[in-house]
């Protein structure tokens, strides 16, 4: 089913100029985004069930029914380095969405590079995929998975990964995935406009205010090495900055462990 909801449909509002494709089941919403490319407008592709979802570095991603499994497709019209910063746009939009459900905002934290934590457990993950040419990204797919009502089984966890949590555990009642999506779509549209207008600086500052383990010792595992150090900041390029025994290091991509 493909639709563009307006104000009041289903009891929730949808951002103007954004389309919604709602599917009962699909292998993955990210794969569906590839099949449907190009799309004429920003489009959320959402599935009630995914049967072959993939996370970072090609890992299997558990996506039980009742959770949010979505991919937003946009044309950012920017170089790849700037498009990569949309992981921060998405994670901060998730934070803003969660404030409607979580009274104590200190329980929500943003984990570099692309996770959202609730009470120290993993609530959501983000995955970016882009296409383009001539130094310009024309299609950016932003995959977002949120454990709203069901957590993945422990056997699905990557080694040393944080235990998954659900939003329903905190609220004490089931969370409507479409209502959550509508809030998220509105917040993302707002953050996207702000990012395009003002650049990464203000978003970076707001993100760091919610960063998990800022100023504490963490471990970053890249494709070639594992580094332990103090999480100093995220720099202007979105890189993780660690103060290690061998000096300060800027890391463009890594898995982070606490």
> pLDDT digit string (tens) for 46-76?
999 998 766 555 555 556 789 999 999 999 9
Residue 224 counted as domain residue: yes
pLDDT of residue 40: 95
258 has pLDDT over 50: yes
Q: Are 66 and 164 part of one and the same domain? A: yes
Provide the CATH number for the domain around residue 46: 3.30.930.10
Mean pLDDT over all residues of the chain? 92
Statement: residue 157 has pLDDT above 60: yes
pLDDT for the residue numbered 58: 55
**Do 150 and 222 have their domain in common?**
no
Stated pTM of the model: 0.92
pLDDT reported for residue 2: 45
Encode the chain in three state secondary structure: CEECCCCCHHHCCCCCCCEEEEEEEECCHHHHHHHHCCCCCCEEEEEEEECCCECHHHCECCCCCCCEEEEEEECCCECHHHHCCHHHHHHHHHHHHHCCCCCCHHHEEEECCCEEEECCEEEEEEEEEEEEECCEEEEEEEEEEECCCCCCCHHHCCCCCCCECCHHHHHCCCCCHHHHHHHHHHHHHHHHHHHHHHCHHHHHHHHHHCECCCCCEEEEECCCCEEEEEEEEECCCCCEEEEECCEEEEECCCEEEC
Together in a domain, 47 and 163: yes
Same domain for 77 and 107, yes or no, is: yes
Could you tell me if 63 and 111 lie in one domain?
yes
Examine the domain organization and report whether 164 and 233 are in the same domain: no
Q: Are residues 149 and 192 both part of a single domain?
A: yes
Q: Give how many domains the chain has, as a whole number.
A: 2
């Amino acid at each position: 089913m493909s639709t563009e909801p307006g104000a009041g449909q289903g009891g929730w509002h949808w951002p103007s100029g954004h389309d919604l494709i709602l599917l009962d089941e699909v292998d993955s919403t990210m794969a569906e985004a590839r099949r449907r490319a190009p799309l004429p407008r920003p489009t959320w592709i959402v599935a009630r069930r995914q049967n072959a979802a993939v996370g970072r570095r090609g890992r299997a991603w558990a996506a039980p029914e009742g959770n949010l499994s979505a991919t937003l497709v946009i044309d950012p019209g920017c170089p790849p380095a700037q498009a990569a910063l949309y992981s921060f746009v998405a994670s901060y939009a998730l934070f803003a969405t969660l404030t409607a459900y979580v009274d104590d905002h200190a329980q929500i934290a943003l984990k570099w590079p692309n996770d959202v934590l609730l009470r120290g457990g993993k609530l959501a993950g983000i995955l970016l995929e882009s296409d383009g040419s001539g130094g310009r990204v024309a299609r950016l797919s932003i995959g977002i998975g949120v454990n709203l009502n069901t957590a993945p089984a422990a056997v699905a966890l990557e080694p040393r990964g944080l235990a998954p949590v659900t939003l329903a555990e905190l609220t004490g009642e089931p969370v409507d995935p479409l209502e959550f999506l509508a809030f998220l779509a509105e917040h993302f549209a707002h953050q996207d406009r702000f990012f395009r207008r003002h650049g990464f600086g203000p978003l970076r500052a707001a993100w760091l205010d919610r960063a998990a383990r800022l100023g504490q010792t963490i471990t970053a595992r890249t494709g070639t090495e594992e580094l332990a150090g103090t999480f100093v900041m995220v720099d202007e390029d979105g890189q993780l900055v660690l103060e290690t025994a061998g000096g300060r290091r800027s890391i463009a991509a890594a898995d982070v462990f606490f």
